[in-house]
Structure 1
């Protein structure tokens, strides 16, 4: 695809826009989607915006049989002047490229990824919420579509993006979540897919998450295969605020490094906070809670931005963190990030891209 030309076919049956009070997360989809196709013979071709509709797939498609599927999660925000912005889209494109290399897929070029998303949002701009705490969630997805039965990489791919208006996970007065420490199932192992945003990772997490919810816990805290070190919390990265340092597990191949994690580390450094990336033992967390050294725990991710943790529990123990209240570090980071995203605070790090 030498020069990016995007054809547009608009829907003949536009949907009514949902009210901000009913949004929730991932319940509604906009009127259109962006797609581009790839084959080893043609390269990338046929960049297009179409009505939101089912994808035609060969029953033998690689995505259905061999799991060649990657996706990203990102957001667009509407500022008070009415203009829309993307938050760190190059981070998401780069992560998709790294995941595609691991799964032997062909990632879309940066121009196709970013300009396709921008063009789609321009078509569906009316869906970008105006209300505080709301945003447009963006789901870029890459799948193998060649029909064949044989274990090898697909020769054909579709890159597509869908949009969903969402409300905030973390409103005023939100309570910290309760987290179950998972000691039976594991999310990833060394040499596996833990550091990629592969669809298979999420399928493998459903059993533990479902069982945790039955116990009235919002998510699970994943451990390494020895059940000794902390890795992630649910679908988010995790931070621990001790009295002398702020720690997040280092990325060593089994953890998916998120854009909000990366942003939080940059913000903490700019605040001269002692943030450290290293391996974290579960016992260190329990000892820190017992001694009072552990002040806060919070998760970071695109959907929730910052999600404070008020309780960690396992089969035979539980600990309450910061009296089950939102801590000052969590609050400060949430205010900083959402302030930058919404345009209420200056974008000193050039994280925003105007659409």
Structure 2
């Protein structure tokens, strides 16, 4: 019976999709058995697409609502389902592995024996899946870069979705948590530490409340959120979010560990797989050919050219503005990049764009 539940879970996770869906390989079952009890796996599979109240989920299982509600809340704390209150009722959703369950495991930043065990099982599953199916191919950007607003040239058109501060001003509450990518790396190998700040990943609105209620992060005010942006920019991290005009999270990514950035940079043309809609413009009179921008560029889009002045490879440029924020002579500004469409309006539009890109 137990094996049957996990095989059914694998089939369900395959349907949920995401970057690492369910795959019928031994590594999946090793991981699933560590994350889910058989009862939790059955509850997960009873959650419909979208969000549902415990009564509906219990009805799908033919079980008592109170018992199922208790299991759902335990699962939410474990990061096996999402939750959000609407009025007096808590609704629950079943996220895919990525984005979703994998990230929730490490947002608290704890380093227990179980955390280490899960981190190793997740890495084993990802490695085995990559080997089985080959490298991930991005046909339409699932995520996008949000440029550093202060680096954009004054005469450029700046939409609200180009400005991180727009989301900070708009949403309440805001939460911050540990970068799950960098923390997962340290759990697998304590020496695998790039030195970048870790408590920098933010959530907004209902997603933030979920993180706060389950102690996966802490509530912050708008002043601290803006300060985290500055710390991230100084460290050369890239602001990355879901590729739609309304976002519910903001990652501050490094190129050495973060899944969003690493996956995009592995593509033949990273600049088309992940982009902000902007590109750097260098003032030749102000540029001193110091090489700082080349060192800071997370995409290796800048190289040393004639007389050591930087040359831009547009195929690799993701428009993050890390070069501009670090330029000591202020010689780089960001200008609008032609040919990059506006982000899809919402999740439905993003799903339609992804479906269309895959034929």
**Structure with the bigger percentage of strand:** 1
**Structure with the bigger percentage of helix:** 2
TM-score (norm 2): 0.30
TM-score (norm 1): 0.30
Structure number with the bigger relative contact order (C-alpha 8 A, sep ≥ 6) is 1
